[in-house]
Amino acid sequence: MTTADAAGSLRGRDLISAADLSAAEVRTIFARAAALKAEFRAERRHADPLLRGRTLAMLFQRPSLRTRVTFEAGMTQLGGHAIYLTEDVVMGAREAVRDVARNLERFVDAIMARTGPHQVVEELAAQATIPVINGLTLREHPCQALADLFTLHERFGDLRGVVLAFVGDGNNVYHSLALLGSTLGMEIRLAHPAEYGPNERIVARARELAGASGGRLVFTSEPADAVRGAAAIYTDAWTSMGQEAEAEERREAFRNYQVNAALAAEAPDALVMHCLPAHRGEEITSEVMDGPRSVIFEQSENRLHAQKALLVECLG
């Protein structure tokens, strides 16, 4: 486990949970991301390769489009290099997690892991002396939350009091949004069927953070109640990786939780968000996903910029 080298610095730090970041640290990442995004959009390159000579090991036990491409492209664009390691190469049956960590810390500058059990990234961080970044676990997806709230920051500036309504499963993406949004003083709402709520320990931690920041958590079983007055309506797939056997059961449980034109009309000014991949016609309709209020592909692009900012702050 690595620690900051100075008060408020992210240099050398792990990102395992969205709760690992203070509001000031999130604002630092947002400012860096905005600058990197503006430069990249203007020039498709960066004049100063801030990660020249740096190497990121990327451990994948779960498939990915956005996580792999944004981390790998981001390292390249900043002058560094990323090494893609698949499930058959690392961890578990072939080699213990602690041994993977102790090897990689001698080869590379940081590790990004996308896995199932949250304990895998926790053990990597505990054993490695270099930064470890959670690229997704069943418990959290902090890099997604950073990109999502950076997307809202671009639209609204200060996020204190901004309402985000999550419609669907109390899953890993919701967990990280609740934690990070609570840190920033947002109101994070969740509309979900009774048996598909979030982790109670995550909720308790988010409430602590909200109490300190002036934020708020709201829970309901009614999607329309959740979205009224919201600045953003957010949804995710009803069936996540590893839950395929529950697909039919989940379709039935969530059939009244679709983000469609009727639900979006309850909050006529709200942005529409989705972390992707989307199952069009299930949790969201194409009409809404491709409509004028959708910022879904802006969120996707912002994975690149927010993660580049995180890497620069941790490694620069």
Among candidate residues 59, 87, 88, the one with its CA nearest the CA of residue 71: 59
Which residues are paired to 113 by β-bridges? Answer: 59, 134
The token duo for 195 is 């048996």
- Catalytic annotation, residues: 114, 141, 144, 236, 275, 303
Q: How far is CA 28 from CA 80, 118, 150, in A?
A: 21, 26, 11
Size of the chain, expressed as the number of residues it contains: 316
Phi and psi at residue 84, to the nearest 5°: -90, 120
Among candidate residues 126, 21, 74, the one with its CA nearest the CA of residue 311: 74
Which residues are paired to 56 by β-bridges? Answer: 82, 110
The token duo for 203 is 């909720």
Q: Are 153 and 31 in contact, with CB atoms under 8 Å apart?
A: no
